[in-house]
Amino acid sequence: MALDAPTTPSSFFSPWPDRLRHSAIILLAAALSLSVLVALDELSPIRAAVVFACIAAAALVPWRLHGAVTSREDVRLGNPVEAAAVNAIVAGMPDPAVLLDRAGRVIHLNAAAAQLAPALRKNELAQFALRSPEIITALREAIATTEPRRATYLDHVPVDRWMELIITPVPVPTTFGGTDKCMLMTFHDQTPLRRVEEMRADFVANASHELRTPLAALSGFIDTLQGPAKEDTKARERFLAIMHTQATRMARLIDDLLSLSRVELSAHVRPDTMVDIVPIIRQVADGLEPLARERQVVVEIDLPEGPVAIAGDREELLRVFENLIENALKYGASGGRIIVSLTSGLSSDGTPELRVMVRDFGPGIAPEHLPRLTERFYRVDVGDSRAQGGTGLGLSLVKHILNRHRGRLLIESVPKNGAAFTACFPQPKSASLA
């Protein structure tokens, strides 16, 4: 790689500097005036010589000082920029940042950069300290062309991270006027963005897969009904019933997807209307009574007599309790009973909260699944969920609604001993459990 030759400091006479021109004019004027005075016998030649020497000294001292400064420009070649100001700017940058001279030598680096690449040293070539081939190529190109460069690479230390390097040529003011073309290298962690992008792609793939499955069943039955089973009344009834179930599943999926995106859109706006959650829970339990009967599950409701008000969105709270109670009835039916209770307690940081717990006595959930249950489309048993008309979005919706209410979802389970899903809400000061 070619290293740039250092710039030569401007020579004493070329280009003819302003300050020297002024000194020459002063000296010329002094010489003329003194000669006239000597010629007119107003001043002795010796005195005139002394005065001229004084004037010459006065005219040349600033230039000599400047000469001293000029010689300091040699020093500036080692560190040519306004060190303090530029250092402060680089140090203050939130991401790792390194300022290089045109040859690629490190002038300044901030703490984040030192942590990212501990081998970087001031006044040493950055290429020797950076191992990634993508960085080295980008750096070489930036040095050769003095054009901006970008590179993305996978960093492995201390953990795998996708990093983006941006090299920007920057004119940096020097101590003695003028600018030096330096290069600013900044590093940005792209991992969160990549994760979001992967999640988005997974979500689209999952949603289209979930919709395609019932759609394929529907079009298959339509073909059968138009062809081989055209005249078969019994088969027609059976197929129409299945088609109805599939169409309901598709409608539910679309419904859940729309609810999710609605809740996400308003995630930052906390509901501020006070609602009594006791009648909301009762309404959901009453609505699910037919399902409980069908599954032969006894639903025990343990709610306070009086009202319990929280800041909430009634429709969203209905969805929360509907999902939790319905899940208990679907997946925990074998336990024969579920308990829905409302209590108050303290969160881990000591703030009072209201807790609505839905407890079943079914097969429970293995511990490895618990942290993933609120992921979109995550199911312990996909076949079982589909057979129950599930979409895999219910708990994800519950989590988002609770987040919007500044609450949280607790999931506890002991395999073979049932599961407990608890929706916790911050307790307003006025709320009481009568």
- Give 38 or 380: the residue with its C-beta nearer to ligand ADP: 380
- Give 309 or 373: the residue with its C-beta nearer to ligand ADP: 373
H helix or E strand, kind and range, residue 287: helix 277-287
Residues lying near ligand ADP in the complex (CB under 6 A) = 323, 327-328, 331-332, 360, 362, 365, 373, 379-381, 385, 390-396, 419
d(CA 253, CA 394): 10
Distances in whole angstroms, Cα of residue 393 to Cα of each of 339, 385, 413: 23, 11, 20
- Give 146 or 248: the residue with its C-beta nearer to ligand ADP: 248
- Give 331 or 425: the residue with its C-beta nearer to ligand ADP: 331
User: Least CB distance from residue 223 to ligand ADP, whole Å?
Assistant: 28
User: Least CB distance from residue 353 to ligand ADP, whole Å?
Assistant: 21
Provide long-range contacts, Cβ within 8 A and 24+ apart, for 207-212. Answer: 207/253, 207/257, 207/377, 210/253, 210/377, 210/391, 210/392, 211/250, 211/253, 211/254
User: Least CB distance from residue 282 to ligand ADP, whole Å?
Assistant: 20
User: Least CB distance from residue 320 to ligand ADP, whole Å?
Assistant: 11
- Give 20 or 318: the residue with its C-beta nearer to ligand ADP: 318
d(CA 366, CA 381): 11
User: Least CB distance from residue 265 to ligand ADP, whole Å?
Assistant: 20
3-state secondary structure of 401: helix
User: Least CB distance from residue 329 to ligand ADP, whole Å?
Assistant: 9
Q: Give the up-direction half-sphere exposure of residue 395: CA atoms within 13 A in the CB hemisphere.
A: 22
Question: Which DSSP state fits 333?
Answer: G
User: Least CB distance from residue 362 to ligand ADP, whole Å?
Assistant: 5
Looking at the DSSP assignment, which residues form a beta bridge with residue 173?
179
- Give 117 or 397: the residue with its C-beta nearer to ligand ADP: 397
- Give 377 or 425: the residue with its C-beta nearer to ligand ADP: 377
Would you say the C-alpha torsion 61, 67, 70, 75 has a positive or negative sign?
negative
Report, in angstroms and rounded to the nearest whole number, the Rg of the chain calculated over CA atoms.
40
Closest to 281 (Cα-Cα) out of 373, 395, 357: 357
